[in-house]
Chains A and B, each alone.
Chain A
């Protein structure tokens, strides 16, 4: 795995680049390593509180470990009425964890999200931002199988 310092350094000269740097960290680790925030604060010449403030403001950024493959379930109104709760139940059962948790083997993280803009095929889930539409409980094992 690449060193977080090297990743952050690549964005040093980009105005306002701290969010892009955080995205790059997540691409590598699937989360923002706790220690990297102090380093990012230094590189972008920000108070530590501000670097934390940015990292914790955005719901797609996660400070501290989580599973490698991030599964998000849309709970916005169109997905809600299309049966998102059934999908949540199926995912929790299949993975043996609750929403907001990661599997013990570090393979999956399970999160709620709001609209992902694929509302022509509700309910929608994404795995590492790749959308899957018209999801039913029956389809869950097959989708997860792609990442096992």
Chain B
């Protein structure tokens, strides 16, 4: 039986999230003090050594990213916390912020010290006004205690645009613009918010930082999978007995997540498919369930770890119908800036609806596959590149479902 390991959620249920004294008594803000004693370069080197990779889905080495901003000379730099958790099936960042907001603030302040920034923003999705309240209270308490030093944090609220989870779109939104991704390079660590070097990290990434600084990079990299060490918070949804949230080492397998933590399939039914990483993730069949959830193992089977959402479907679910709904999601959320995504998501949705209604032909299937492959290369940002993934992985792993609905 696999066991939970709480690093990010270390204080969940143990402290009052709205009482900073609880956080401090549990050892909070000691890591920030230690970071300041280590010096910027040693701090960045240790975070890099820990092997911590971005928990928002892109999986980039966190310390390396910080190094890019540290190396740029600028009169102002920014630290941005990406709390625009929009991947359907994901509620991990909400869980972190609701249960331990100070750990996120401390992680941001450590990053601020590392790169030489005195200003942080938390971009929290518009769906979570109650989380915005918690964050503002936590920030006020941290300011009153003086624990953040000269590092200032401000909360900005999104307004229901999934694409703003993409870091350059998020930056555009903080600037008060339409949330459309920028052309890259330059990347945000060099030219970001208001044209200044900006580190954008996910909530879960920041919440990992204080523990890593406190216990050291060597300690962290010994946990979980070798190339994607540490833990991952997963959120279980769909046809499982326990629809809930867990934090597990990254070498945990998909099967353990679904059966040990999720308690197996609901109502004694059989497993059909699991989609991991949110609605842009791949659909995984039974034969691949022994794959560990870490970033690279998932990539190797054509899937993603993404945000850590685990959406389980039982034997009664109609895969083509679910994918058609997902295709509708992407048509709605495409920002429209680049044509492969704007047109592609619309055409995929159209074809999926046709197939779902039993009016598709095998020619549609090959067209879908071709369009999906083009989009995954030609779209400007991760949204369009990942949008065809549910279609492509189901065409591959669940082709029989499509064949059964052909006209």
Chain A residue with the shortest CB-CB distance to B179: A57
Q: Does B311 contact A (CB under 8 A)?
A: yes
Give a binary string over B309-335; 1 marks a CB under 8 Å from any A CB, 0 the rest: 101010001000010011011001101
Say whether A114 contacts B329, CB under 8 Å: yes
- Over the window 111-144 of chain A, the binary record of Cβ atoms lying under 8 Å from chain B Cβ atoms (1 yes, 0 no) is 0011111111110001001100000000000000
* Residue pair B88, A76 in contact (C-beta under 8 Å): yes
A113-B160, A119-B235, A120-B245 as given contacts; A77 in contact with B322, CB under 8 Å: yes
CB neighbours of A16 from chain B (8 A): 156, 174-177
| Binary interface encoding of chain B residues 155-167 relative to chain A, with 1 for a CB under 8 A from any of its CBs, else 0 | 0111111100000
Cβ of B90 under 8 Å from chain A: yes
28 contacts between A and B (CB under 8 A): A16-B176, A16-B177, A17-B176, A19-B176, A23-B126, A57-B178, A58-B159, A58-B161, A58-B179, A59-B160, A59-B161, A78-B88, A78-B237, A80-B322, A81-B317, A82-B238, A114-B86, A114-B88, A114-B333, A115-B86, A117-B85, A117-B128, A119-B88, A119-B90, A120-B245, A122-B238, A129-B126, A130-B130
Please classify how large the interface on chain A is, using the bins under 10, 10 to 19, 20 to 34, 35 or more.
35 or more
Given contacts A76-B279, A77-B88, 4 further A-B contacts (CB under 8 A): A19-B159, A75-B325, A77-B322, A115-B89
With a cutoff of 8 Å between Cβ atoms, the chain A residues found around residue B85 in the complex are: 117
The 10 closest A-B pairs by CB, nearest first: A16-B176, A58-B159, A60-B160, A76-B88, A115-B88, A59-B160, A57-B178, A78-B237, A60-B159, A119-B237
Q: Are B178 and A81 in contact (CB under 8 A)?
A: no
* B366 part of interface (Cβ distance < 8 Å): no
In this complex, the interface size class of chain B, counting residues with CB under 8 Å from chain A, is: 35 or more
Question: Is there a chain A Cβ closer than 8 Å to B239's Cβ?
Answer: yes
- Chain A residues with Cβ under 8 A from B237's Cβ? 78, 119-120, 122
Q: Report A1-54 residues with CB < 8 Å from chain B CB.
A: 15-20, 22-23, 44, 50, 53-54
Query: Are A119 and B322 touching (Cβ within 8 A)?
Result: no
Q: Which of B87, B175, B279 contacts A15 (CB 8 A)?
A: B175
The answer to whether B86 and A81 touch across the interface, beta carbons within 8 angstroms, is no
Residues of B within 8 A of A81 (CB): 238-239, 313, 317, 322
Indicate if the CB atoms of A18 and B176 lie closer than 8 Å.
Answer: yes
Flag whether B194 is at the interface (Cβ < 8 A): yes
Contact A78 B311, CB 8 Å, known A20-B156, A115-B86: yes
Query: Across the two chains, which residue of chain A brings its CB closest to B94?
Result: A117
A61 at the interface (CB under 8 A from B): yes
Interface flag for B304 (CB, 8 Å): no
Closest B residue to A112 by beta carbon equals: B332
Does any Cβ of A come within 8 Å of B389's Cβ? no
Closest A residue to B163 by beta carbon equals A57
B244 contacts the other chain (Cβ, under 8 Å)? yes
Asked if A61 meets B159 with Cβ closer than 8 Å, knowing A18-B176, A19-B173, the reply is yes
Write the B108-135 contact mask toward A (1 if CB under 8 angstroms, else 0): 0000000000000000011111100000
Docked complex Cα distance between A57 and B161 (Å): 8
Identify B243's interface contact among A22, A54, A122, A129, CB under 8 A.
A122
**B153 CB → nearest A CB, Å:** 15
B66 interface hit (Cβ, 8 Å) = no
Q: Is the CB of A118 within 8 A of B91?
A: yes
B328 neighbours in A (Cβ, 8 Å): 75
The contact string, 1 if C-beta is below 8 Å from chain B, for chain A 47-91, is 000100110011111000000000000011110111000000000
User: Does B99 sit within 8 A of A, measured CB to CB?
Assistant: no
B89, B275, B335: the one contacting A119 at CB < 8 Å is B89
Task: Report the minimal beta-carbon distance from A74 to chain B, rounded to whole angstroms.
Answer: 8
Contacts A44-B176, A54-B178, A117-B127 given; does A23 touch B89 at CB 8 Å: no
Task: Name the interface residues of B241-290: CB closer than 8 Å to any CB of A.
Answer: 243-245, 275, 279
- How far is B325's CA from A119's CA once the two chains are assembled, in angstroms? 16
Complex alpha-carbon distance, A53 and B328, angstroms: 23
A77-B275, A80-B325, A120-B245 known; A19-B157 Cβ under 8 A: yes
Taken together as a complex, chains A and B put the C-alpha atoms of A121 and B235 apart, in Å, by 12
Q: What residue in chain A is nearest B129 (Cβ atoms)?
A: A129
Whose C-beta in chain A lies nearest to the C-beta of B243?
Answer: A120
Q: Which of B133-147 contact A (CB under 8 A)?
A: none
Residues of B within 8 A of A77 (CB): 88-89, 275, 279, 311, 322, 325-326, 329
CB nearest to A80 among chain B residues: B325
Given A20-B156, A60-B126, A77-B275, check contact A117 B90 (CB 8 Å): yes
